[in-house]
Chains A and B, each alone.
Chain A
């Protein structure tokens, strides 16, 4: 791919990016969020048409108009959000788009099983996809590409949804594919995976290629990291510790069911004191999300209690919890935290509209003043305040959300993945706000998948596995390997 340009309204996602991948290799494409990795890959896979630039596959120039064109040229992509039909079986998903005219269920299931075996992918072709774990779904995506005989397989942040054991298995599968003469493009921002499974790496920054086809053997994680972030490598220092005060959030014996009606939280005990950040580490899907939801009043507990500053608020409504001093930064910003089509002003007063009303009416001037105040204090960059929220960038959305939740000086803050998907500046801003809230005496519960973030911010670190708290660590002294072991349930045969 050479000199690829792709512009979206207001954003230049690719500004002359280049990529060259050789046959039979695993090639990493590295870059921060917003560096243009996904856009470049979507151009290669025919999802987007580039504004300028050329794509050549085995020497032949192509202009892909649709994903089907790219597939026909042997390029298959496994997207970050899986493109699977949940109600279809594994086999149906695999053959979709490349099936015989008449389908014989048993026959396609057998063929898919054979293909899976050939590349060492464990799967169950007759199962509907909605019943499968994330790791299994990813294997279905890979099978889809293999079924179409893709010679170039693009994986967009494939390990984000996997347990460490599953990620290692994936590495083995990818190596088998590369050995069979296929090429794998592996998009990631996790350096240890790149140095672990990849042969070559291309680094993108700001939509441009800053390092093309570096041999991984000739470099190291540090060099790649500095290429990714450019001149200002991120150095996050631990904010100074702070003496903890009385307990503000006390969770005891808390159990709850997950979305599928299975136990997701099992007798969790947890205390967060005033002036401390308690970090929760764990592989996604081990009860962190449910814990936050129960504390925030969005999921009912089957057993146990939640106390806020000494008051029993188990099962209280989100509104009551907010009034009792709970600030909640949900994982799903646009779904739960903000209403994307409402204006910036409306979003800023969603929690506090009571304070801006006269009789049954919202007083527009007061609401706007509140919004302007939030925007200024929390450094949100916005267009006109009456425009829909959805026009803001991810970092600014999150600043407004965090600002809204913190502006009322909550006593307890529950922050679920508050920095996920943000750029470096955004991450720093949100982290600073959380530390500030802590320094002002709030009890902060921080759930994150980024262990570095937890090690930097948390005063105490607990690890969740399978709905239980399986360990507590002091982030200043704990070894990452120990925490990692705890995250996978002490390592022995879990997750495979």
Chain B
């Protein structure tokens, strides 16, 4: 292993970390409002394909990103319609959304398979900073999506913990009847959170096809949406911890493709289990600690709310 490949590993860790972070942040927003959306994988696929195709058609990567965000949000709102408005079982609806999203993306992208990208989000070259040894290539020559994911993290943290809207949104996820009694629209908050979650998942998908691996192929999301779902639990529903987890899990993704080049004889399949094993570990810790304190999970997560029900 040489210096260049180590820098490459670190840079890839940051890239994959940002990819996971965008999706996980979205899922976290949705879950904070009490809606579990297991359709992340489907929403990412929708974002990936619509972003890629918009780039093919119009050649503008930013327009492509915007379309991907919209597509993710609209896909998520389907889940929102079923679970928030109709009160359907969230797990079932979310799983259906994954299947629907993956299938629909494959159908829409039929003619885009194997085509060169219409536009890409070119890496940002920060003046001065990008020339720093080590840090430059790892942190300051990344895709704009990496910087946007950091910005998204800060915005989500601020909104959730420092604004009225965030307080209301968290209340909707902890105790929907309390939020309702306090005069907030639980349906509105939850739909908005689901849509924001879908938008971020869509952005994550677009990061894949516009920047990270600029092409479209069926199944390009490769289970990363599921890692994002696990990451929310791993990060205990806190934006900062989710970011740390994203780097850790991103590291395993980056390492997976490089193990052989490093000459390490370790199965990449076992490595890809690592995020889930770590998440199970965190769940164990949470349940042990739950004897003395409430779980960090939003208390109304997964529970539909209807007002005139006693």
Interface residues of A (CB under 8 A from B): 47-48, 66-68, 71, 77, 79, 83-88, 92, 95-104, 130, 144, 260-261
Contact = CB atoms under 8 A, between A and B. Distances in A.
Nearest to A45: B181
Contacts of A102: 162-164
Interface of B: 161-168, 170-171, 174-175, 177-184, 291-294, 299, 307-308
B168 A97 contact: yes
A99 B164 contact: yes
A101 B174 CA distance: 20
B183 A97 contact: yes
A67 B174 contact: no
Contacts of A261: 291-292
B178 A85 contact: yes
- The secondary-structure label for the interface of chain A is loop
Contact of B174 (A47, A68, A87, A103): A87
A208 B37 CA distance: 46
Contacts of A83: 175, 177-178, 181-182
A103 B181 contact: no
- Among A85, A92, A104, the one with the most B-chain Cβ atoms within 10 Å of its Cβ is A85
A86 B178 CA distance: 10
B175 A103 contact: no
B179 A86 contact: no
A100 B164 contact: yes
Contact of A99 (B167, B174, B293, B299): B167
A83 B172 CA distance: 12
Contacts of B179: 96-97
A86 B167 contact: no
Contact of A87 (B162, B166, B291, B294): B294
A84 B165 CA distance: 17
Contacts of A260: 292
Contacts of B184: 68, 96-97
A88 B171 contact: yes
A341 to B, nearest CB: 14
Contact of B178 (A66, A96, A103): A96
- Among B165, B183, B184, B308, the one with the most A-chain Cβ atoms within 10 Å of its Cβ is B183
B178 A84 contact: yes
Nearest to A66: B183
B206 to A, nearest CB: 31
9 contacts: A66-B180, A83-B182, A85-B299, A88-B171, A96-B184, A97-B184, A102-B162, A102-B163, A103-B163
B183 A67 contact: yes
B182 A96 contact: yes
Nearest to B310: A8
Contacts of A87: 174, 294, 299
A473 B291 CA distance: 37
Given A66-B183, A67-B183, A101-B164, A130 B294 contact: yes
A48 B308 contact: yes
Given A104-B162, A260-B292, 15 more contacts: A47-B307, A48-B308, A67-B183, A68-B184, A83-B178, A83-B182, A84-B175, A85-B171, A85-B178, A86-B175, A87-B174, A88-B170, A96-B168, A97-B181, A102-B164
A170 B161 CA distance: 33
B217 to A, nearest CB: 43
A137 to B, nearest CB: 12
A104 B181 CA distance: 23
Given A87-B294, A97-B183, A103 B162 contact: yes
A87 B178 CA distance: 12
A96 B171 contact: yes
Nearest to A99: B164
Contacts of A99: 164, 167
- Among A47, A48, A98, A260, the one with the most B-chain Cβ atoms within 10 Å of its Cβ is A47
Closest 3 A/B residue pairs (Cβ): A97-B182, A68-B183, A83-B178
B163 A101 contact: yes
Given A48-B308, A88-B174, A79 B181 contact: yes
Contacts of A48: 308
A144 B161 CA distance: 20
A149 to B, nearest CB: 13
Contact of A67 (B180, B292, B294): B180
Contacts of B308: 48
A317 B174 CA distance: 34
Contacts of B292: 260-261
A113 to B, nearest CB: 18
Given A88-B171, A130-B294, A103 B180 contact: no
A261 B178 CA distance: 27
B294 A96 contact: no
Nearest to B183: A68
B3 to A, nearest CB: 46
Contact of A96 (B163, B167, B307): B167
A331 to B, nearest CB: 19
